[in-house]
Structure 1
């Protein structure tokens, strides 16, 4: 029963990590786009960035402080 709980915790951690990776990939893609077409897209991306930072920052706080992190993961993350 404990191993099942542990598996569920790991699955949750993996899911949160996937979400975080997707967010970071989106931000990277926006920065690449901004460099390619600086004048045409910059306004759109600035609006987008402000909206995104409000959603990503609280989420990362929740992910890293409130979740029970298994020891194996905390070593890898640091």
Structure 2
């Protein structure tokens, strides 16, 4: 998992697992705990990506870049 698209895929896969009709009892509880862990990690990944994107915007503004094609955006932020 290296891009926001990969993260999105993981989050939707987890949502599908949580909605499985046969999931009950201990299996359901285990899946809920896994979902909570994924959510916490996802929050940190998103915060980190937002910080990196803000840094790229700041560099572009500081350098006076007007053309978006000349701004170097970290590749794993855009896939």
TM-score by length of 2: 0.51
**Equivalent position to 1:35, from 3, 14, 19:** 19
Where structure 1 has 5 or more consecutive residues not aligned to the other structure, the ranges are: 1-14
Q: Which of 49, 55, 61 pairs up with 2:41? A: 55
Name which one, 1 or 2, has greater alpha-carbon Rg: 2
Aligned to 2:6: 22
Q: Which runs of 5+ in 2 are unaligned?
A: 61-67, 70-77
Question: Does the Cα contact within 8 Å between 2:18 and 2:28 map onto a contact in 1?
Answer: yes
Give structure 1 regions of 4+ aligned residues with deviation exceeding 3 angstroms. Answer: 69-72
The count of aligned residue pairs is 59
Q: Normalising to structure 1: TM-score of the pair?
A: 0.52
Query: What's the counterpart of residue 64 of structure 2?
Result: none
C-alpha root-mean-square deviation of aligned residues, in Å? 3.2
